[in-house]
Structure 1
Amino acid sequence: MAANWVFTSGRIFDGHCVHPTATAVAVSGNRIVAVGTDAEVRAQAGPAAEHVDLAGRLLTPGFTDAHLHAGQGGIERLGCDLTAVTGGADAVVAHVRDYARSTDAEWISGGGWSMSDFPGGNPTADLLDAVVPDRPVFLINRDHHGAWVNSAALRRAGITAATPDPADGRLERDAHGEPTGTLHEGAMDLVTALMPVETAEQQRAGLLEAQRYLHAHGVTGWQEAIVGDYAGHLDISPAYRELVREGLLTGRATGALWVPRTTTLASVGELVADLAERRRVNGAGGFPTVSAKIMIDGVAENRTAAMLEPYLCPCGGTERPTDGGLGLTYLGYEVLVEVAAALDAAAFDLHMHAIGDRAVRYGLDAVEQLRARGGGDTGRHHMAHVQIVHPADVARFGAHGVTVNAQALWAANEDQMTELTVPLIGEERTRHQYPFAAMCAAGARLAMGSDWPVSSPDPWQAIHVAVTRRPPGEPDREPLLEDQALTLQASLAAYTSGSAWLNRQEEAGSIVPGRLADLVVLSTDPFELAPEDLHTVGTDLTLVGGRAVHATDRQGAFA
Structure 2
Amino acid sequence: MLAQSALLAAAVAIAAAIFLLPPASRLSWTPRGRFADMILANATIYTADDPARPFADAMAVRGGRVLRVGTYDSVKELKGRHTYELNLSGNVVLPGFIDSHVHLIDGGLQLARVPLRGVRTKVEFTSKVKEVVRDKHHGQWILGGGWNNDVWGGDFPTAAWLDDISPNNPVWLSRMDGHMGVANSLAMKIAGIDKNTNDPIGGTIMRTTEGEPTGLLANTAMKHIFDVVQKVSIHERREALLRASRHAVMRGVTTVVDVGSYFPGTTAEKTWQDFSDVYEWAHSMEKMTIRACLFFPMPTWSRVSDLIDENGRSLSQWIHLGGVKAFLDGSLGSSSALFHEPYEDDPGNYGLQVIDMDNLLNRTLESDKSGLQVAIHAIGDKANDMLLDMFDKVVDLNGVRDRRFRIEHAQHLAPGAAKRFGKHGTIASVQPDHILGDANSAAKKIGIERAERSSYTFRSLLAGGARLAFGSDWPVSDINPLQSIQIAMSRKPPGWEVPWIPAERLSLDDSLKAHTISAAYACFLDHVVGSLSEGKYADFVVLPSTSWDEFSTDLPGYVLATYVSGKQAYP
In the aligned structure 2, how far is the partner of 1:110 from the partner of 1:281? 38
Q: Which amino acid aligns with 2:420?
A: R
What are the residue-to-residue correspondences of 1:37-116 with 2, within 5 Å? 37-47=71-81, 49-83=83-117, 85-104=118-137, 106-116=140-150
What are the residue-to-residue correspondences of 1:336-355 with 2, within 5 Å? 336-355=360-379
Deviates more, 1:59-68 or 1:503-512: 503-512
In the aligned structure 1, how far is the partner of 2:325 from the partner of 2:410? 15
Q: Which amino acid aligns with 2:483?
A: Q
The one-character-per-residue Cα deviations of 1:207-253 (angstroms, maximum 9, x if unpaired) are 00010000111111111112698556832212101111111112110
What are the residue-to-residue correspondences of 1:531-542 with 2, within 5 Å? 533-534=554-555, 536-542=556-562
For the 8 Å contact 1:388–1:429, the answer to whether it is kept is no
How many pairs align? Answer: 526
Give 1:160 deviation, angstroms. 1.7
For the 8 Å contact 1:467–1:531, the answer to whether it is kept is no
Q: Which secondary structure does the structure 1 equivalent of 2:532 belong to?
A: coil
Question: Does structure 1 residue 328 correspond to structure 2 residue 357?
Answer: no
In the aligned structure 1, how far is the partner of 2:308 from the partner of 2:222? 28
Counterpart selection for 1:441 from 455, 460, 463: 463
In the aligned structure 1, how far is the partner of 2:334 from the partner of 2:307? 33
In the aligned structure 2, how far is the partner of 1:182 from the partner of 1:526? 50
Q: How has the CA–CA distance of structure 1 residues 415 and 400 changed in structure 2, closer, same or farther, with 3 Å as cutoff?
A: closer
Deviates more, 1:449-458 or 1:302-311: 302-311
TM-score (ref. length: structure 2): 0.87
Q: CA RMSD for the aligned pairs? A: 2.3
Question: Does structure 1 residue 167 correspond to structure 2 residue 201?
Answer: yes
Give 1:525 deviation, angstroms. 5.5
Give 1:281 deviation, angstroms. 7.2
In the aligned structure 1, how far is the partner of 2:55 from the partner of 2:96? 21
Question: Does structure 1 residue 5 correspond to structure 2 residue 5?
Answer: no
Q: Which secondary structure does the structure 1 equivalent of 2:173 belong to?
A: strand
Structure 2 portions without partners, runs of 5+? 1-33
Question: Does structure 1 residue 424 correspond to structure 2 residue 445?
Answer: yes
Q: How has the CA–CA distance of structure 1 residues 50 and 488 changed in structure 2, closer, same or farther, with 3 Å as cutoff?
A: same
In the aligned structure 2, how far is the partner of 1:112 from the partner of 1:95? 12
In the aligned structure 1, how far is the partner of 2:465 from the partner of 2:172? 43
What are the residue-to-residue correspondences of 1:250-399 with 2, within 5 Å? 250-259=289-298, 271-277=300-306, 286=316, 287-312=319-344, 314=345, 322-324=347-349, 326-399=350-423
For 2:485, the equivalent position in structure 1 comes to 463
Give 1:279 deviation, angstroms. 5.0
For 2:540, the equivalent position in structure 1 comes to 519
Deviates more, 1:166-175 or 1:41-50: 41-50
Q: Which secondary structure does the structure 1 equivalent of 2:48 belong to?
A: coil
What are the residue-to-residue correspondences of 1:128-207 with 2, within 5 Å? 128-207=162-241
Q: Which amino acid aligns with 1:255?
A: L
Q: How has the CA–CA distance of structure 1 residues 514 and 241 changed in structure 2, closer, same or farther, with 3 Å as cutoff?
A: same
Question: Does structure 1 residue 249 correspond to structure 2 residue 288?
Answer: yes
For the 8 Å contact 1:464–1:532, the answer to whether it is kept is no
Q: How has the CA–CA distance of structure 1 residues 483 and 117 changed in structure 2, closer, same or farther, with 3 Å as cutoff?
A: closer
In the aligned structure 2, how far is the partner of 1:376 from the partner of 1:82? 46
For the 8 Å contact 1:341–1:366, the answer to whether it is kept is no
In the aligned structure 1, how far is the partner of 2:426 from the partner of 2:450? 22
Give 1:532 deviation, angstroms. 8.0
Give 1:290 deviation, angstroms. 2.8
Q: Which secondary structure does the structure 1 equivalent of 2:474 belong to?
A: coil
Give 1:537 deviation, angstroms. 3.0
Deviates more, 1:118-127 or 1:447-456: 118-127
In the aligned structure 2, how far is the partner of 1:526 from the partner of 1:88? 42
Question: Does structure 1 residue 478 correspond to structure 2 residue 498?
Answer: yes
Counterpart selection for 2:519 from 478, 499, 504: 499
For the 8 Å contact 2:369–2:398, the answer to whether it is kept is no
Q: How has the CA–CA distance of structure 1 residues 229 and 118 changed in structure 2, closer, same or farther, with 3 Å as cutoff?
A: closer
In the aligned structure 2, how far is the partner of 1:258 from the partner of 1:118? 34
Give 1:256 deviation, angstroms. 1.0
For the 8 Å contact 2:467–2:522, the answer to whether it is kept is no
Deviates more, 1:183-192 or 1:157-166: 157-166
Q: Which amino acid aligns with 1:183?
A: L
In the aligned structure 2, how far is the partner of 1:415 from the partner of 1:495? 21
Q: How has the CA–CA distance of structure 1 residues 383 and 132 changed in structure 2, closer, same or farther, with 3 Å as cutoff?
A: same
**% of aligned pairs identical?**
29
Give 1:259 deviation, angstroms. 2.8
Question: Does structure 1 residue 528 correspond to structure 2 residue 561?
Answer: no
Question: Does structure 1 residue 544 correspond to structure 2 residue 569?
Answer: no
Q: Which secondary structure does the structure 2 equivalent of 1:539 belong to?
A: coil
For the 8 Å contact 1:227–1:256, the answer to whether it is kept is no
In the aligned structure 2, how far is the partner of 1:232 from the partner of 1:293? 13
For 1:240, the equivalent position in structure 2 comes to 279
What are the residue-to-residue correspondences of 1:394-409 with 2, within 5 Å? 394-409=418-433
Q: How has the CA–CA distance of structure 1 residues 35 and 217 changed in structure 2, closer, same or farther, with 3 Å as cutoff?
A: same
Q: Which amino acid aligns with 1:217?
A: R
Give 1:285 deviation, angstroms. 5.5
Give 1:81 deviation, angstroms. 3.0
Give 1:103 deviation, angstroms. 3.0
The one-character-per-residue Cα deviations of 1:488-535 (angstroms, maximum 9, x if unpaired) are 10110111111112222221111112221111111215843487843x
Give 1:118 deviation, angstroms. 4.7
For 2:25, the equivalent position in structure 1 comes to none
Give 1:88 deviation, angstroms. 2.6
The one-character-per-residue Cα deviations of 1:391-427 (angstroms, maximum 9, x if unpaired) are 121111011210111111223xx45542x33212112
In the aligned structure 2, how far is the partner of 1:478 from the partner of 1:31? 43
In the aligned structure 1, how far is the partner of 2:263 from the partner of 2:284? 22
TM-score (ref. length: structure 1): 0.89
In the aligned structure 1, how far is the partner of 2:310 from the partner of 2:203? 32
Q: How has the CA–CA distance of structure 1 residues 409 and 511 changed in structure 2, closer, same or farther, with 3 Å as cutoff?
A: same
Q: Which secondary structure does the structure 2 equivalent of 1:509 belong to?
A: coil
Q: How has the CA–CA distance of structure 1 residues 322 and 228 changed in structure 2, closer, same or farther, with 3 Å as cutoff?
A: closer
In the aligned structure 1, how far is the partner of 2:140 from the partner of 2:458? 45
In the aligned structure 2, how far is the partner of 1:230 from the partner of 1:309? 23
Q: Which amino acid aligns with 2:490?
A: T
Structure 1 portions without partners, runs of 5+? 261-270, 315-320, 552-559
Q: How has the CA–CA distance of structure 1 residues 220 and 399 changed in structure 2, closer, same or farther, with 3 Å as cutoff?
A: same
In the aligned structure 1, how far is the partner of 2:266 from the partner of 2:169? 17
The one-character-per-residue Cα deviations of 1:241-294 (angstroms, maximum 9, x if unpaired) are 11111111121101111135xxxxxxxxxx432343455678686533331111
For 2:48, the equivalent position in structure 1 comes to 15
Q: Which secondary structure does the structure 1 equivalent of 2:56 belong to?
A: coil
In the aligned structure 1, how far is the partner of 2:332 from the partner of 2:518? 27
For the 8 Å contact 1:66–1:405, the answer to whether it is kept is yes
